[in-house]
Structure 1
């Protein structure tokens, strides 16, 4: 697949048709001077917020050990359901990450002028890390007495957030560089989220899980650095004609 970005008949800018642009701006001025609509949009949105139900709920622990642990944490002011919600969120995101890297592998098929280091083997390595992190999170949820098959509220939200990333990766029109920029967004969210989980595990006194999550965080930082290098090299190749661009 060759880079599809080129000079062409893009007619979205105002300067492509100055006369019609002036007419459009005049209409905007007229609308700005028009009386305010009878419906107060802000008040309507506020009413919707006040009446809205929560996105979902976190189920209680599914084992005696889990219920006991939650009760002990509650005595210390800790809310186990908040931790389980964030673990469910990360598990959902890592599952989406596997799908996104699978899409990137498909996009690599037939691609030309790839940046240095961007290979099928390198992508599969990161894809496998995402899968192993998903398994780690599911195991952590079970060890804390939760149900790893539950879609928690934050898991629901992150699924919606990731939907756009998945759509961009599967769009046949997107270039390698655009796909790499999407992967970089994925990894930036990943590294910040794993850092948060490590601090939560420390706060809950889960030293073993904190250590395991720290190792996952280190791997995610490595992913981010590799993807950033590939993306930078791809843009340099495209913009500067630098065939010797090196991935960081």
Structure 2
């Protein structure tokens, strides 16, 4: 089976119907066995609740301003009734995500070198452009945080959260078993999240009176919208191309 395609027939024995004799025994034993615990799922729910109560500070906190200017800005925003740490937290989130985005497209470029592309698929030029865009967005966010007196190297709670949520995306792209078309599936998840998150950040910036930043963030969102359209198109073309490809006779199951 070639890694250039992903939907070929092969020696997949994960389904129970591949072993009808043994599967009957497994089902019969499952019916005879007693539950490992009495009752329903309320007991494990109680354990989860207890862990939540004992979690302390949760995912951490936003660090204090790193400069006198930042302290003054924070104090002014608080006097106005605002909570500037929310904006800093979300800036840190986008910064972490954009930094990871550079790595994602570096991985996609490696897949391109090994597997090549397909009709209507990604080119080295466009993948490189998107990677460079992600890097420029990272630099924009570093600049924004520094102007607000924040530390762009700090891990904010939202940055921590988004890194946990998106762990599967870089794992899929760096997996040696995946091909470029499969990487498009992972990149689609990243780009959908990226677009929605930039929209939220822009609304937050305008609501807090950071209109000049919001205007620059809008340019980043415009670029991200282009990224999303490209990835969706590449994925659709890849799936369509594979669906039209003839089945490799070597992958067909042997006839009895």
* Fold in common (TM above 0.5): yes
**130-139 or 2-11, larger mean C-alpha shift:** 2-11
Q: Which string of whole-angstrom CA distances, capped at 9 and with x for unpartnered residues, describes residues 161-218 of structure 1? A: 3332111101111122111111111100000000000000001100100000011011
Alignment of 1:113-124 (within 5 A): 113-124=117-128
For the structure 1 residues 123 and 36, does the alpha-carbon distance in structure 2 shift closer, same or farther, using more than 3 Å as the test? same
In the alignment, is residue 8 of structure 1 matched against residue 10 of structure 2?
yes
In the alignment of these two chains, the number of paired residues is 242
Higher relative contact order (CA 8 A, sep 6+): 2
Alignment of 1:170-185 (within 5 A): 170-185=174-189
For the structure 1 residues 28 and 73, does the alpha-carbon distance in structure 2 shift closer, same or farther, using more than 3 Å as the test? farther
Q: Does the CA-based 8 Å contact 2:108-2:173 persist in structure 1?
A: yes
CA–CA distance in structure 2, aligned partners of residues 113 and 130 of structure 1: 22
Instruction: Give the alignment's TM-score, normalised by structure 1.
Output: 0.90
Alignment of 1:1-248 (within 5 A): 2-31=4-33, 36=38, 40-53=43-56, 54-241=58-245
Please list every run of 5 or more consecutive structure 1 residues that lacks an aligned counterpart in the other structure. Answer: 243-248
Q: Does the CA-based 8 Å contact 1:3-1:176 persist in structure 2?
A: no
Deviation at residue 31 of structure 1 after TM alignment: 4.4
Deviation at residue 35 of structure 1 after TM alignment: 5.1
Instruction: Give the alignment's TM-score, normalised by structure 2.
Output: 0.88
Deviation at residue 51 of structure 1 after TM alignment: 0.3
Give secondary structure in 1 for the equivalent of 2:196.
helix
Deviation at residue 2 of structure 1 after TM alignment: 2.5
CA–CA distance in structure 1, aligned partners of residues 63 and 193 of structure 2: 26
Deviation at residue 34 of structure 1 after TM alignment: 6.3
CA RMSD of aligned residues (A): 2.1
CA–CA distance in structure 1, aligned partners of residues 98 and 147 of structure 2: 19
Deviation at residue 113 of structure 1 after TM alignment: 5.0
Q: Does the CA-based 8 Å contact 1:89-1:156 persist in structure 2?
A: yes
Q: Runs of 4+ in structure 1 displaced over 6 angstroms?
A: none
